[in-house]
Amino acid sequence: MNSFLEVVESHALSNSFATAQVINMQNNSLSSFPFETLPSFTSLLELDLSNNKLTFPATESGSLLVLDLSSNLVSNVSATAFSDMPQISEINLAGNQIIHIPTGTFAGHHNLYYVNLESNSLTYLPEGAIQLTSSSSGTVLLRSNQIADVAVNSITDVSDGKVDISNNNLTALKEDVFRPILAEDTALDAKDNPLTCGCDIAWLIRDAPLLALVAEGAACFNGELLADLDAGLFDNMGCP
């Protein structure tokens, strides 16, 4: 950790294949790591390679729970990127250059409860992108991207958890997208988005219990807080 390491050779850690539970090489200058040897680490629970110079590898591990590749040079993540990591519970890809998340990328893992994609270059979330099926409260962090649109069912099963989509380019909080999320008692942080606050948001302002799940600070493009909007205003606008 916190050094100038640039390369880890293929068998440099072979004596730890059966025993290593944590590998932490954060804050180095790694541009090469032997990801192909991960299946040999039969006891590995956590791999932290954050703050390096790595692109996204082919990853396979039957034991890994936590993967941290934040603040690297990751620009592309395939829909099958985590298919061979059946036990994964936490994935951190914050601070990279990811522009697209394919359908199914973060889905189908029975332990997955934490996905961090903040500070990337995402503009859109497709249907089925993130599905947290763990029994633990889920967390999805998407703040500080360039997200302008979110598909229906793009984020699912974050029961009693948190979705942070603050500091993006959303102009609307569409009912068919966000009502199902809030209906699971999931806290939603939507501040620092240029919300137009037209009829598209009437459903939320009219539903006090759901509005209470929206974090403080969410506001229209003119600065007026959602919490201060009068439901009667939308009746006067003729909103359905």
Reported pTM: 0.95
**pLDDT at residue 58 in the model:** 76
**pLDDT at residue 67 in the model:** 98
For the stretch 145-182, pLDDT in tens is: 999 999 999 999 998 999 999 999 999 999 999 999 99
With a cut of 90, say whether residue 136 has pLDDT above it: no
**pLDDT at residue 232 in the model:** 92
The values of phi and psi at residue 226, to 5°, are -60, -35
For the stretch 4-15, pLDDT in tens is: 999 999 899 999
Beta bridge pairs of residue 225: 219
Q: Confidence class of residue 32 from pLDDT cuts 50, 70 and 90?
A: very high
For residue 230, give Cα distances in angstroms to 65, 74, 189, 205: 46, 44, 20, 7
**pLDDT at residue 64 in the model:** 98
Torsion (CA) 118, 124, 126, 131 in degrees, nearest 10: 20
Contact between 140 and 115 (Cβ < 8 Å): yes
- The C-alpha atoms of residue 72 and residue 173 are separated, in whole angstroms, by 31
With a cut of 80, say whether residue 83 has pLDDT above it: yes
**pLDDT at residue 115 in the model:** 98
Q: What b-and-e string marks burial along 191-224, b requiring 16 or more CB atoms within 10 Å of the CB?
A: bbbebebeeebbbbbebeebbebbeeebbbeeee
Quickly list H helices, the chain: 175-182, 202-205, 208-211, 231-236
For the stretch 179-212, pLDDT in tens is: 999 999 999 999 999 999 999 999 999 999 999 9
With a cut of 80, say whether residue 220 has pLDDT above it: yes
**pLDDT at residue 133 in the model:** 82
Contact between 216 and 189 (Cβ < 8 Å): no
